């Protein structure tokens, strides 16, 4: 975990330096332009240091493919004061040096670059001498572009086709922005800020257009109603013109006490107690409407005579 954390910190530092500073080539060699595009920043700096040491050596042709590279001064930093033998085969693009820097560090040495300069083959570094681990990593996010509909030549585009064309174009443009913004949290926060503002502005525009369409529709409907009324009149006169003086009747409130709107308390609620009939005990009716109640027998008429005398 500590090793991985150390690697992550180093990568973040390199990315920060790449964003903060722009490297420039030291000389006019085409091979340096290639290294600037291929190598990572730390490896390019090491490559440039080797390329600068080219000015510290002379080269002499010894044999068929052998060259002697000797220092101009007595001492060269990192290599001392000794000379080195370099074997160069231009057709096969093979280079070997006695310092074995490529076998040790994975980079060509200044002695090989001095021989390449002597032979006039300083245009590019052979691909086999550019190790994969020193290259700039490939991009993780690949832009996925939508295929845009073809614009017809013989006819006018429909509304659906124009919408698809606008949608595809905006998706491709937003993909580029998303790729740039996804490189850091700061970029994502900035993109989110403008995306939210853009979304709000688009929704407001849509609501405004909807209100305008609704207003135009209402105005058109009122105009049509007015035209229909004019067409129904005989002689082009407004049939309702004679009733223009008639107004709505005066509002009279209902008589009696108005209904209460207040929230009733528990005292006004119906009782939860079951009321039973006192005659038969049924809960379907009361004693007043019970059929089992004894009906009083009417008195005979002969008693009426004695009641009158009394």
Q: Euclidean distance between the first and final Cα of the chain, in Å?
A: 126
Contact 259, 250 (CB under 8 A): no
Distance CA(18)–CA(76), nearest Å, equals: 30
pLDDT in tens, the chain (310 residues): 999 888 888 877 777 766 666 777 787 888 888 888 888 888 888 999 999 999 899 999 988 889 999 999 888 888 988 999 999 988 888 999 999 999 999 999 999 999 998 888 888 899 999 998 888 877 777 777 778 878 777 888 888 888 888 888 888 888 888 888 887 788 889 999 999 999 999 999 988 888 888 888 888 777 766 666 655 555 444 555 666 677 788 877 777 777 777 666 655 555 567 778 888 888 888 888 887 776 655 555 555 555 555 5
Residue 83 CA to chain centroid, in angstroms? 61
pLDDT of residue 136: 82
pLDDT of residue 73: 87
pTM above 0.75, yes or no: no
pLDDT of residue 8: 82
Written in H, E and C, the secondary structure of the chain is CHHHHHHHHHHHHHHHHHHHCCCCCCCCCHHHHHHHHHECHHHHHHHHHHHHHHHHEEEEECCCCEEEEEECCCCECCCECCCEEEEEECCCCEEEECCCHHHHHCCCCHHHHHHHHHHCCCCCCCHHHCCHHHECCCCCCCCCCCCCCCCCCCCCCCHHHHHHHHHHHHHHHHHHHHHHHCCCHHHHHHHHHHHHHHHHHHHHHHHHHHHHHHHHHHHHHHHHHHHHHHHHCHHHCCCCHHHCCCCCCCCCCCCCCCCCCCCCCHHHCCCCCCCCCCCCCCCCCCHHHCCCCCCCCCCCCHHHHHHHHC
pLDDT of residue 255: 77
Distance CA(11)–CA(145), nearest Å, equals: 29
Q: How many CA atoms lie within 13 A of 283 on its CB side?
A: 3
Q: Is 130 left (phi over 0), alpha (psi -120 to 50) or beta?
A: beta
The length of the chain is 310
Contact 179, 187 (CB under 8 A): no
* Residue 87, token pair as written in the block: 């074997």
């Amino acid at each position: 975990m500590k090793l991985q954390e150390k690697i992550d910190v180093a990568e973040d530092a390199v990315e920060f330096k790449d964003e903060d500073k722009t490297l420039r080539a030291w000389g006019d060699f085409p091979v340096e332009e290639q290294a600037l595009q291929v190598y990572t920043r730390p490896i390019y700096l090491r490559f440039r240091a080797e390329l600068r040491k080219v000015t510290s050596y002379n080269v002499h042709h010894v044999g068929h493919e052998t060259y002697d590279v000797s220092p101009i001064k007595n001492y060269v930093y990192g290599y001392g004061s000794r000379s080195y033998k370099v074997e160069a085969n231009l057709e096969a693009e093979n280079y070997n040096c006695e310092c074995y820097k490529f076998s040790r560090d994975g980079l060509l040495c200044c002695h090989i670059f001095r021989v390449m300069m002597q032979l006039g083959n300083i245009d590019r570094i052979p691909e086999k001498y550019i190790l994969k681990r020193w290259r700039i990593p490939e991009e993780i996010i690949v832009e996925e572009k939508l295929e845009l509909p073809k614009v017809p030549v013989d006819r006018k585009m429909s509304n659906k086709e124009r919408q698809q064309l606008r949608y595809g174009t905006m998706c491709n443009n937003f993909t580029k922005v998303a790729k740039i913004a996804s490189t850091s949290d700061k970029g994502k926060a900035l993109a989110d800020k403008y995306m939210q503002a853009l979304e709000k502005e688009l929704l407001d525009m849509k609501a405004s257009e909807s209100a305008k369409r609704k207003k135009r529709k209402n105005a058109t409907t009122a105009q049509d109603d007015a035209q229909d009324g004019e067409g129904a009149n005989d002689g082009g006169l407004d049939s309702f013109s004679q009733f223009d003086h008639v107004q709505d009747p005066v509002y009279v409130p209902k008589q009696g006490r108005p209904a209460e709107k207040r929230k009733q308390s528990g005292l006004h609620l119906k009782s939860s107690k079951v009321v039973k009939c006192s005659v038969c005990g049924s809960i379907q009716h009361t004693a007043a409407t019970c059929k089992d109640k004894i009906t009083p027998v009417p008195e005979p008429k002969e008693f009426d005579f004695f009641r009158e005398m009394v």
